[in-house]
């Protein structure tokens, strides 16, 4: 009931930005609106940061456990703790892409030429150091919901990709903490004209 109330109140604003064809979560834009309403309603119940973080990570764990990634299933590797997870990382992102949740993705930044991990990263993690990495997802289905919630001064936003990847690393003994940033790929002279199409996930990975 609370979700429906919030969804009805926000529908006009969301509809103006991205009209949906049918009121079904199978429709990307209606799913975006519904995700916004669900997370807003959940935030009213879960008011503590730790509880919200656990809720979000549990969502990622459930998604990860339901994915069929047997061809590149992650395994805990002593000699290559990070590079051994690249196959699973890519497969998970490709599954999200195939489902229509996101348009495309990119590993690393322009300097790393999409090589997200290498032997030096494996060595650093094994020696107890933390390793940082960047993952970009473009036009995720919950982009407007996330932007709206961020604009309301909250960081508790619908995030399915970030938490699923965190669950994947967790399964091989790696703790993943991360921040989400929004990127507008086009330069605009007026800073108020901010129309991001990219969510940038900035991870910090450490060994358990």
Per-residue pLDDT, 93: 95
What angle do helix axes 28-45 and 2-17 make, rounded to 10 degrees? 140
- pLDDT value at position 194? 79
Residue 205: predicted pLDDT: 98
- How far is CA 119 from each of CA 111, 123, 172, rounded to the nearest angstrom? 17, 6, 17
pLDDT score, position 12: 93
Mean predicted lDDT score pLDDT of the chain: 91
Alpha-carbon distance of 205 to 160, in angstroms, equals 18
Tell me what pLDDT residue 111 has.
Answer: 55
pLDDT in tens, 85-124: 999 999 999 999 999 999 999 998 765 556 799 999 999 9
pLDDT value at residue 18: 87
Residues 6+ apart with CB under 8 A from 62: none
Give dist(CA 48, CA 196) in Å, integer.
29
Task: Write down the pLDDT at residue 90.
Answer: 92
Res 178: pLDDT: 96
CA dihedral 174, 177, 180, 183 (to 10 degrees): -60
207: three-class secondary structure by DSSP: strand
Residues of the chain where predicted confidence (pLDDT) is lower than 70: 68-73, 110-114
Answer whether 53's CB lies under 8 Å from 178's CB. no
Residue 31 confidence (pLDDT)? 95
Q: What does the pLDDT read at residue 113?
A: 53
Give the alpha-carbon dihedral of 91, 97, 98, 100, to 10 degrees.
150
pLDDT at 143: 95
Cβ pair 133, 108 in contact under 8 A? yes
């Amino acid at each position: 009931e609370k979700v429906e109330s919030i969804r009805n109140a926000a529908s006009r604003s969301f509809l103006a930005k991205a009209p949906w064809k049918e009121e079904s979560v199978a429709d990307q834009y209606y799913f975006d609106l519904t995700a916004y309403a669900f997370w807003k309603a959940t935030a009213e119940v879960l008011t503590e940061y730790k509880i919200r973080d656990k809720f979000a990570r549990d969502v990622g764990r459930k998604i990860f456990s339901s994915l069929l990634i047997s061809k590149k299933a992650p395994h805990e590797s002593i000699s290559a703790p990070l590079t051994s997870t690249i196959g699973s990382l890519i497969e998970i992102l490709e599954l999200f892409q195939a489902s229509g949740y996101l348009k495309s993705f990119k590993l690393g930044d322009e300097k790393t030429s999409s090589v997200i991990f290498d032997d030096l990263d494996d060595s650093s993690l094994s020696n107890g150091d933390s390793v940082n990495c960047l993952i970009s997802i473009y036009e995720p289905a919950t982009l407007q919901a996330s932007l709206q919630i961020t604009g309301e001064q909250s960081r508790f936003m619908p995030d399915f990709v970030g938490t699923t990847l965190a669950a994947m690393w967790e399964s091989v003994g790696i703790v993943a903490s991360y921040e989400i940033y929004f990127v507008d790929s086009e330069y605009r002279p007026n800073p108020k004209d901010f129309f991001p199409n990219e969510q940038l996930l900035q991870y910090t990975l450490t060994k358990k």
